[in-house]
Homo-oligomer: A and B are copies of this chain.
């Protein structure tokens, strides 16, 4: 073995051991916990002591290093690394080619494609060998991760004869990192790639991220925001990008970047960026050549153009295909690809025209261009026609580009699904999308087959996940959210895996094999999307969040009456977008006949997309056997109840999960439980007022155990209106703006007993107000409003519930909340709700 490989392995091996102990969450699913169970350990007793690396490359070295690290972690044994097959049992790592050269008598597996691998336990010269053969070097690395996953899952490795190939060639993540170090729609700290308009000096985390990605088969990472900074292509920046590529390379992850379409003009000094201008094409070619000199394995460009204010080919009357192809042609000689984002729509659409429909936009823009895109270009299509909502129908454009490569864009970062502060595990949603049969040409054409390129025999295709990991030790800001990153990778590699299987793999690798832990974590994950949808936007309404700002808390009306086109068309009588071909926007007509027929029909349209497809009165009776309005009430109340159970389930794992992760997850699930009630109340109050139809169960609008802050005896606090009104109970709150400390008190009138006090307040990010709660003279709790929420004002983003459990109350007790403002945080208070234990 060459010295270079040895050094790589050592860095991998010893560089990581110290960290292993320090930060469990940093290691995510690659923890390689020691196997203590003797019966499990016995399964691996005869694992060969020698690992042979037949190829001298960074990727195969990384594979060998990872195998050493994993075996050392799980079995406490240090394998020997050799460059030749020895006269003893051994594990052989190499490409199929190298294995054939080293041992021609070993029958290689047939049918391997790029990145695929073969795991085989065989006999050779009287010795047992365990072959990890890759169709290419990346396949060797993937084979090692697959072998280690078997150990981590306590699976048998003898006999062994597994062949695995990736389902699709493109398995990328996108990072929406800005060069200033911020991350658009990132919820886990600063960028691990950029700061102050430069690449960071220490790229350890970039390498560790690539390792995580490689472990689930992801082979590409676009490191910057699709709203791209022109500086990405600056001559002094390319060498910096090369350093990221160096960190990625051992893990087989190719670097790609998003580019600004105007670069030939802004960066290149041309007077145009017209894609059909020869000078522009030459500039792109020269730029691609320059990049490939620095980064020979560069993946390609991602382009967002003519979308949400980005310039594009329309400036010169050119098409998206013209734009895509000029870049694609520059990349083509080097094997790079161009990914063109299909997220193009008019965000100044006239909302008064009932025929207008943003959902139509992707299809309307791209379907006419089918067949015009270069062979090394792909159109990247979000899973739904709107924008990563908690529920959308599959984008009809996916079925409408028979002669164009496509990638499916999923979102790992939970932009509209709770931003990692709410547990919302998306693999079940993604499975529904991937398995959805678009019925193109009357055939059986599930989305996964279409986007992989199989259906229409395209050479390029696959899955792209917007990940947006950050510098938080847990990568995504929440240990449980890492299941989305894991699940994305697994589905990109093998979309036929069940959600159940992926979840179980992730859970066991992340938290170990304690049966109660495995059951509880899997239940939490698998129920979470349904529950989140239930207390946010059911029936296909979209998430019902504030679409103009944070995309986080409830903000129903932000969808309506503006040019962004996420209309839900709610009035006093009914609700829903009529997207039928018969009477509506015609959107449904973009689907192939079988799907269109289903959605067009009120009878056959599933409840969970009804209001996406149809406008109906609130009294319309659903398949579920209740009216639309009652369904809205029931869904929010039922799901909020379920969300209250999440922290309780988790708490049964105390002592079974290491304390730092245990505590971090408790805090998040308790926050989520409180915010679920904010959601429930906002949506139900709004619909109660809009529809004028009361909740048959008498809940909406009635809060018998709640005392509004504005009804309390105030000292220093002043009443303020909250916008939107439904984000505060009663539409109002009290704020402390002109005193060092304010208080609000009221008299408890209930019977003596043990109670939980829920204090509802607004936690803005412009300061950290303090709160103290007294019963009579006795302080029973205090806390700081110092959560990192995307909110500068009292609204559904900042509304937060603090629960004080087990307080003994007596009739006539005076309950007093003291608020101590800090900076711009006025210690705003909404209400106190008292529940009997």
Contacts and interface: CB of A to CB of B under 8 A. Distances in A.
Contacts of A776: 80
A654 B807 contact: no
B24 A659 contact: yes
B779 A14 contact: yes
Nearest to A777: B6
A9 to B, nearest CB: 8
Contact of A805 (B6, B76, B780): B76
A806 B36 contact: no
Interface in A351-375: none
Nearest to A656: B655
B80 A782 contact: no
Nearest to A806: B77
Contact of A663 (B21, B76, B754): B21
A655 B512 contact: yes
A300 B616 CA distance: 87
B808 A49 contact: yes
A444 interface: no
A130 to B, nearest CB: 14
Contacts of A804: 78
Given A36-B652, A652-B36, A72 B752 contact: no
Contact of A659 (B654, B658, B778, B806): B658
A780 B658 CA distance: 29
A34 interface: yes
A781 B17 CA distance: 10
A494 interface: no
A1 interface: yes
Nearest to A49: B808
Contact of A778 (B72, B81, B778, B810): B81
Interface residues of A, number: 49
Given A49-B808, A75-B806, A806-B75, A10 B779 contact: yes
Contact of A80 (B6, B10, B80, B775): B775
Contacts of A778: 6, 80-81
A651 interface: yes
A308 interface: no
B775 A36 contact: no
A754 B77 contact: yes
A50 interface: yes
A79 interface: yes
Q: How many copies does the complex hold?
A: 2
Given A6-B778, A663-B21, A78 B808 contact: yes
Interface in A24-63: 24, 33-34, 36, 49-50
Interface string A621-663: 0000000000000000000000000000001101110111001
Contacts of A806: 72, 75-78
Contacts of A656: 655
A835 interface: no
Nearest to A658: B659
A805 B656 CA distance: 27
Contacts of A79: 808
A451 to B, nearest CB: 40
Contacts of A777: 1, 6
A603 interface: no
Contacts of A655: 512, 514, 656, 658
Contacts of A34: 651, 654
Contacts of A512: 655
Contact of A780 (B78, B660, B782): B78
A88 interface: yes
Q: Is the interface of A mostly helix, strand, loop or mixed?
A: mixed
Contacts of A80: 775-776, 778, 808, 810
A836 to B, nearest CB: 13
Contacts of A49: 752-754, 808
A349 to B, nearest CB: 50
A805 B34 CA distance: 13
A411 to B, nearest CB: 32
Given A652-B36, A777-B1, A779-B14, A807 B77 contact: yes
Nearest to A1: B777
Contacts of A72: 806
A77 B13 CA distance: 48
Contacts of A514: 655
A823 to B, nearest CB: 21
Contacts of A652: 36
Given A36-B652, A781-B78, A50 B808 contact: yes
A493 to B, nearest CB: 30
A739 to B, nearest CB: 22
Interface string A786-828: 0000000000000000001111101000000000000000000
Given A656-B655, A752-B88, A782-B14, A78 B807 contact: yes
A359 to B, nearest CB: 47
Contacts of A780: 78
A24 B806 CA distance: 24
Contact of A36 (B6, B651, B658, B782): B651
Interface in A711-753: 752-753
A10 to B, nearest CB: 5
Contacts of A33: 654
A76 B752 CA distance: 18
A783 B81 CA distance: 20
Contacts of A77: 754, 805-808
A253 B181 CA distance: 54
A485 B752 CA distance: 42
A782 B752 CA distance: 64
Interface string A535-564: 000000000000000000000000000000
Contacts of A1: 777
A805 B777 CA distance: 61
A816 to B, nearest CB: 14
A589 to B, nearest CB: 57
A504 to B, nearest CB: 18
Closest 8 CB pairs of A and B: A49-B808, A77-B806, A658-B659, A76-B806, A78-B780, A80-B808, A76-B805, A78-B807
9 contacts: A21-B663, A49-B752, A49-B753, A49-B754, A49-B808, A72-B806, A80-B775, A658-B658, A658-B659
Given A10-B779, A21-B663, A78-B807, 16 more contacts: A6-B779, A21-B659, A33-B654, A34-B651, A49-B753, A72-B806, A76-B805, A77-B808, A78-B780, A78-B781, A78-B804, A80-B778, A88-B810, A514-B655, A655-B656, A655-B658
Interface of A: 1, 6, 10, 13-14, 21, 24, 33-34, 36, 49-50, 72, 75-81, 88, 512, 514, 651-652, 654-656, 658-660, 663, 752-754, 775-782, 804-808, 810
